[in-house]
Amino acid sequence: MDAPATDGRAARSRATRARVAAAATRLFTAHGYAATSIQAVAGEAGVATQTVYYAFGNKAAVLKEALDQAVAGDAAPVATLDRPWVRAALNAPDAGEQVRLQVEGTRVVMERVAPLAEVVRGAAGSDPELAELWRTNVEHRRQVQAVFAGALADRGALRPGLGVSEAADAALALLSPEVFTLFTVHSGWTAERWCAWARDALLRQLTDVADAQPRR
């Protein structure tokens, strides 16, 4: 008899965390990290301030949750490498299709994440907790890129002489939120144009099949 009640509490807790994370994302990206208080986040989320403190502990933890949910697209406890778009890319029939699906999946993630990543990166210089969050985020992204690069290596598609580690580093840079923001915000590109550029850049930098891909 206890299981349904426990499940219900867990569901309500996840819903509250998701609501707080969404509210924090709106405020952090609009006003910045320093100018946004826990009280403001609670008000935006429609919950008590104490509820936010109880669920998260401090403002840095709220930002971490917001970033995690932006990366995932939801509050479900599913790792990035187990997400459907990643599995589809890794199981693609050839290297060109893997890169296409990888870039298109990354675009969807970046449209959610890039503004919030700017908040974390900007605040990291003055907050050791956020500096660690940023370092962890970069390392996580590199680990994901290493899996993609490893899949290309398994297909025999990496450029001759290019190792998985170096390929992962190149992909980390090309598909970074900083580069996405540079193109889509500061240079006025559409996300679709960035997609075409990123796909072409990855194929040319990482593989020996770029010449077979049409340029757009």
- Rounded to whole angstroms, how far apart are CA atoms 59 and 172? 28
pLDDT tens for 162-176 read: 999 999 999 999 999
Domain coordinates in residue numbering, the chain: 1-59, 78-212
Q: pLDDT at residue 210 above 80? A: no
Q: pLDDT at residue 212 above 50? A: no
Domain 78-212 has CATH 1.10.3720.10: no
Q: Which pLDDT score is estimated for 191?
A: 97
pLDDT tens for 39-52 read: 999 999 999 999 99
Give residue for tokens 């770029």: 210
Pick from 107, 43, 110, 97: which is nearest to 71 by CA? 110
Dihedral sign for Cα atoms in the order 95, 101, 106, 111: positive
To the question of pTM greater than 0.85 for the whole model, the response is yes
pLDDT tens for 98-143 read: 999 999 999 999 999 999 999 999 999 999 999 999 999 999 999 9
- Rounded to whole angstroms, how far apart are CA atoms 80 and 100? 17
Query: What top-level class would CATH report for the domain 1-59?
Result: mainly alpha
- The SS3 of residue 7 is helix
